[in-house]
């Protein structure tokens, strides 16, 4: 069953800048313009990197609306609307679709640790309630729940469930998924150090943290691969591995927000329980950024 492809290439899981405890709308606008000017293929607002878990409902909706209006159709906007409460996920998803989102990112229900039957029922309920394409987001290290192949097989015929963001880190699992249901779902890497391996299995791109400070390079990894320049794509991926490691030396989005602030895009303000980066780790991060001429 061929479904709509939301984007091909690199989608940035964009940070949400804060100032004095509130969303810094000016800084968010600057970050969006920086992304579009540097070839980001799509923008994901209110994902994990956007600290969606500590946004109020009003802020969450406001960020979605603001991003859609600011982007103004120049690239696809994908709204993070997942929840461990199916009813709330449906409510927020309907809002994002009505606001003009090009797609939805639906994280696996966290903490509840649903069964296969429960996961299938959760995603089918959202599929049936919305009118825009959805990406199932599997990140078991955060949710405590791994989406396995039987779930994807049961959801393959759902018209609005068109793609998977795989952040399990398990290449064997991802290969099995693409082999079994790759005709029903586009697959995106959820890890910046696995872009090329997942593209080689038939993936469509990445939903990226790295793309916040390096949008063009992350786009280029994908474009080079799709242009048949696999060696050049892999070389760029490998060149950026040390920086990727520093971006995840503390829990995301602490390092990437610190990096963006160092580049002049918003502050490094986070919301508890996330807190300021350890000084030793910050020094390593800034040293890698200097090597790449980011600062």
How far, in Å, CA of 85 to CA of 262, rounded? Answer: 36
Q: Could you tell me whether strands 18-19 and 22-23 are parallel, antiparallel, or unpaired per DSSP bridges? A: antiparallel
* Alpha helices (H) along 15-115: 25-37, 57-71, 86-99
Query: Which residue matches tokens 């903490």?
Result: 111
Q: Could you tell me whether strands 161-166 and 134-138 are parallel, antiparallel, or unpaired per DSSP bridges? A: parallel
The whole-angstrom distance between residue 36's C-alpha and the CA centroid of its chain comes to 16
Q: Is 34 helix (H, G, I), strand (E, B) or coil?
A: helix
Active site residue 165: yes
Nearest to 190 by CA among 12, 7, 6: 12
Number of CB atoms found within 10 A of residue 94's CB: 17
Q: Is 185 helix (H, G, I), strand (E, B) or coil?
A: coil
Q: Bridge-partner residues for 265, per DSSP? A: none
How far, in Å, CA of 82 to CA of 126, rounded? Answer: 9
Nearest to 1 by CA among 183, 203, 133, 134: 183
Task: Decide: 10 and 219 in contact? Cβ < 8 Å.
Answer: yes
**Does residue 54 have a cis peptide bond before it, meaning omega lies within 30 degrees of 0?**
no
> Which member of 3, 39, 70, 165 is catalytic?
165
H-run or E-run covering 245:
helix 241-247
> Which member of 137, 152, 188, 225 is catalytic?
137
| Active site amino acids | 137, 165
């Amino acid at each position: 069953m061929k479904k709509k492809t939301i984007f091909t290439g690199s989608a940035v899981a964009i940070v949400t800048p804060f100032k004095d405890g509130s969303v810094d709308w000016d800084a968010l606008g600057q970050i969006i313009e920086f992304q579009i000017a540097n070839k980001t293929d799509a923008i994901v607002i209110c994902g994990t990197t956007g600290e969606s878990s500590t946004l109020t409902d009003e802020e969450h909706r406001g960020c979605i609306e603001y991003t859609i209006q600011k982007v103004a159709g120049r690239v696809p906007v994908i709204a993070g609307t997942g929840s461990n409460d199916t009813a709330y996920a449906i409510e927020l998803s309907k809002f994002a679709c009505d606001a003009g989102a090009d797609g939805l990112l639906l994280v696996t229900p966290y903490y509840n640790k649903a069964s296969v039957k429960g996961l299938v029922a959760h995603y089918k309920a959202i599929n049936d309630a919305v009118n825009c394409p959805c990406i199932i987001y599997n990140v078991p290290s955060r949710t405590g729940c791994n989406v396995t192949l039987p779930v994807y097989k049961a959801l393959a015929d759902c018209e609005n469930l068109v793609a998977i963001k795989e952040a399990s880190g398990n290449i064997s699992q991802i290969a099995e998924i693409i082999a079994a249901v790759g005709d029903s779902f586009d697959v995106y890497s959820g890890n910046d150090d696995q872009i090329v391996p997942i593209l080689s299995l038939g993936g469509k791109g990445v939903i990226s943290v790295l793309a916040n400070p390096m949008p063009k390079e992350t786009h280029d990894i994908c474009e080079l691969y799709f242009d048949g320049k696999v060696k050049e794509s892999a070389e760029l991926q490998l060149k950026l591995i040390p920086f990727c490691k520093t971006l995840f030396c503390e829990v995301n989005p602490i390092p990437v927000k610190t990096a963006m602030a160092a580049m002049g895009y918003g502050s490094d303000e986070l919301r508890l329980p996330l807190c300021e980066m350890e000084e030793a780790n910050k020094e390593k991060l800034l040293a890698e950024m200097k090597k790449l001429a980011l600062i």
